[in-house]
Amino acid sequence: MFSRAYKTAVTVPPLAWVAVFLLFPYALMFCYSFWSVTPAQTIVHSWNFNNYKELLQKSVYWQTLLRSMWIAARVMLFSLLLGYPLAYFLSFYAGKRKDLLYQMVIIPLWVSYLVRAYAWKTILGSDGVLNTLLQYVHLTSHPLDFLLYSPFAVALTLTHIYTPFTILPIYASLEHISRNLVEASHDLGATPAQTFWKVIFPLSIPGVVAGATFAFLLSLGDFLAPLLLGGPSGIMISNIVVSLFGAAYNWPLGAAISLGMLVIVVSLLFFSERLEKKWSFS
């Protein structure tokens, strides 16, 4: 057995890490969310629920939160629609090119987020690649302005950035499916399409849930894509938090929003965990 000293040596550092970098900041945020700020912009340590009341009463926060969830839901849907077929191809049909294609899915993750977001700016802008092309082939006479600085642009960019995060768990769950089961299905008379819907897809649900969770939650908390490409109509909840902690200097309200988001995220994670467990059979 391990000595007491050894056990202490291996358990204390991670616990300390969690305490210093997670529990303490959250505790601090929790306290801040019940404090308030004076018109002279000093933070008063007087405990009250005003911040939370303001959140519930002012529609701008609700609307932004709903818009953020709507954008995140679209990102999730598009990532799944793009990611699933790719993961499926990779797992079942890529053969010898599997490793190469897998690397090609991974490589974009090594490229800076900013570079990828800016790339979309040059594609979607009014003088951008897409508008120039559309005008050149006379599909449109003037630049389409909904392309950039819109929720559409944010959803598109986030889909591009987070699709690899949905591909990987789906791919992993597809790889996990015994090929014997696919053979058994064919053996019992199921066509490839029936086999997909009755065997492969149900068994890949844990990966789909994990991938969907990644895409949704990462998008929900994103603030760079809306900042760069969202324009006024594409503002997301994190942009509000950023401005409250920055220019607006209302840390208490920012903390209250952050904690609200934390509750949403944790409950979604809890839900997705249960869903994944329900569909795991190994």
Partner 1 sequence: MSATSAQKPTLLSIRNIAKTFGRNVVLRDVSLQIAEGEFLTILGESGSGKTTLLRIIAGFETATSGEVWMGTERLDQQPPYRRRVNTVFQNYALFPHLTVEQNVAYGLRVARRPDAEIEQRVTEALEKVKMTAHARKKPSKISGGQQQRVALARALVNRPNLLLLDEPLSALDANLRRQMQVELKSLQREVGIAFVFVTHDQEEAMVMSDRIALLRSGELEQVASPREIYSRPATAYVAQFIGHTNLLRGEVRDGVARCGSLSWRTSAADGPALFSLRPEHLRPSSVASNGTVRVTGKVLQQAFHGATSLVRVECAEGLVLVMRTSSGALAAQEVELEFSPDDAIPVRESPERA
Footprint on this chain of partner 1 (rule: CB under 8 A): 178, 180-181, 183-192, 194, 198-199, 202-203, 279, 281-282
Residue type, 239: N
Min CB(194)–partner 1 separation in Å: 5
Comparison of 121 and 176: residue with beta carbon closer to partner 1: 176
Residue 50: partners with Cβ closer than 8 Å, 6 or more residues away: 36
Structure token pair of residue 153: 């642009």
Nearest to 250 by CA among 64, 41, 57, 56: 41
> Shortest gap between Cβ of 85 and partner 1 (angstroms)?
21
* Closest of 43, 78, 20 to residue 250, by C-alpha: 43
For the bound state, the minimum distance from the C-beta of residue 185 to partner 1, rounded and expressed in Å, comes to 7
Q: Which is nearer to partner 1, 38 or 282 (CB)?
A: 282
Nearer to partner 1 by Cβ, of 204 and 219: the residue is 204
Q: Which is nearer to partner 1, 163 or 185 (CB)?
A: 185
- Residues 225, 236: Cα–Cα separation, whole Å: 9
Task: State the nearest-atom distance from the C-beta of 48 to partner 1, in Å.
Answer: 51
> Is residue 257 classed as helix, strand or coil in its secondary structure?
helix
* Least separation in angstroms between CB 177 and partner 1: 9
Which CB, 127 or 187, lies closer to partner 1?
Answer: 187
CA 43 to chain centre: 32
Cβ-proximal residues to 10 (8 Å cutoff; 6+ apart), any chain: none
Buried b (16+ CB within 10 A) or exposed e, 127-142: ebebbeebeeeeeeee
Nearest residue (CB) to partner 1, 2 versus 93: 93
Asked whether 34 and 45 are in contact (CB, 8 A), the reply is no
Residue 53 or residue 278: which is nearer to partner 1 going by CB?
Answer: 278
Residue of 83, 159, 75 lying closest to 117 (CA atoms): 159
Is 282 strand, coil or helix? Answer: coil
Nearer to partner 1, 183 or 273 (CB): 183
Write down the least CB distance from residue 187 to partner 1, Å: 5
- Pull the structure tokens for residue 21: 């970098």
Q: Give the nearest distance from C-beta 176 to partner 1 in angstroms.
A: 11
Burial of 210 (0-12, 13-18, 19+ CB in 10 A): buried
Shortest reach from residue 173's CB to partner 1, in Å:
12
